[in-house]
Amino acid sequence: MRYPLIAAASAAILSAAGMAVAQHQGHHGHKGHGAATADTRVLVNMPPELVDHTLANMRDHLLTLQEINEALARGKNDKAAATAEQRLGMTSLRLHGAHEVAKYMPEGMQQAGTAMHRAASRFAIEAQNSDVTGDLKPALAVLSEVMNACVACHAGYRFK
Ligand code: HEC
């Protein structure tokens, strides 16, 4: 173990706090709520080249959300599903070199990452289901869970 137990424990607590913030924002939709308070995010130390690699992935994550949204708006649910699965879902894990970076991440951060990948794969299924049912709402609900994982991890951790 690279991390002393106490650091892992405090990271878990802080990440729980991050989740709570994300939940709170998710349920009430208040923009910028709590944004002015002190920075309590846990600093995660990774080799610089892995940080660069991870931030490049992050920028692709945001682009992916935009492309998913656009595909849904055009009624191209299959495209939204494939984009989510390949770039954010379980299929994307190898593409992102997740195994290599995961060992530097505190447990709570790994959990947020796993939650994002799992939710994205579930979204891919729901988006395809909505072609049959004609109801997009279940897919949108899972897409919100994907975004909630982004928000929770960002609330809890930083690289710099
Ligand atoms: C497992 C944790 C985690 C998850 C999940 C996560 N991120 Fe990040 N992301 C980070 C960290 C850590 C940073 C760096 C923040 C800092 O150092 O201030 C970051 C930075 C970013 C950046 C800035 C990139 C840059 O060039 O500086 C973007 C954009 C971003 N994330 C988008 C997303 C989106 C969109 C999602 C969800 C689809 C997401 N992230 C999910 C941890 C995560």
The finding on whether 58 has its CB within 6 A of some atom of ligand 1 is yes
Residue nearest to atom 33 of ligand 1 (CA): 58
Which residue, among 124, 109, 115, has the nearest Cα to 148 in the 3D structure? Answer: 115
The finding on whether 106 has its CB within 6 A of some atom of ligand 1 is no
Residue nearest to atom 28 of ligand 1 (CA): 58
Q: Domain limits at 101?
A: 5-158
Question: pLDDT tens across 19-74, in order?
Answer: 444 444 444 444 455 556 789 999 999 999 999 999 999 999 999 999 999 999 99
Looking at the 3D structure of the chain, how many domains does it have?
1
- Is residue 100 scored above 90 in pLDDT? no
C-alpha span between 131 and 147 (Å, rounded): 22
For residues 121 and 93, the answer to whether their CB atoms sit within 8 Å is: no
Question: pLDDT tens across 111-126, in order?
Answer: 999 999 999 999 999 9
